[in-house]
Structure formats: structure tokens, C-alpha cells
Amino acid sequence: MNDLDDQIAETLQAYRKARLRLFINLGFVIACCVAASGLRGAFGLPPAFLSVVLIAAILLFSPEIFRFMRLKNEMQRLERLRDGGS
């Protein structure tokens, strides 16, 4: 049972780190969108320019998003194992 608690602690630490990185990435995407909106207004670029920025951000940060979702599912699985085993 102690091994399961250690695994939960390690997964929880990785989950918290992934969540922090996800929030940092979200802040970066918002800053990029604000900058792109300013550039679009200054240079008269088409509105599709913002969608290009969003698509590029999603592609760039998708591994981090999927890592977060995988760790969240792993935490839920380990919690069910711990609760069901007691």
C-alpha cells in the first residue's frame, strides 16, 4: 500500500507541475494574441491572422495539454485504486 501512496505522490507532483506549465503557456498565448491583434490593427492584416496565431499555439502546446490530461486521468485512476483497496 505504501508503494501506491508513493506513486500517487509522484503523479500528484507531476500533475501540479504540468498544470503550472499549462497556465504559463496560456498566459503566453494570450500575450501573443494581444500582440497579434495590435499588429493586425497597425498593419491592416486580415482577421484570419489571429486564427493563425491560435492554431500555431495549439500545435506548439498540444504535447503539454495532452500530458496534463494524461496525468489527470492517471490521478483519478490511482485515487480509485486507493479508495477501492481500503
Mean pLDDT of the chain: 92
Residue 84 clears pLDDT 90, i.e. is over it: no
3-state class (DSSP) for residue 41: helix
What average pLDDT does the segment 23-43 reach?
A: 94
| CA neighbours closer than 13 Å in the CB half-sphere of residue 14 | 16
Which residue reads 479508495 in cell numbers? 83
pTM: 0.83
- Contacts for 75 with CB less than 8 Å, ≥ 6 apart: 8, 11, 12, 15
pLDDT band at 1 (very low <50, low <70, confident <90, very high): low
For 37-62, what is each residue's pLDDT tens digit? 999 999 999 989 989 989 998 899 99
Predicted pLDDT of residue 2: 83
Sort 76 into a burial class: Cβ within 10 Å, 0-12 / 13-18 / 19+: exposed
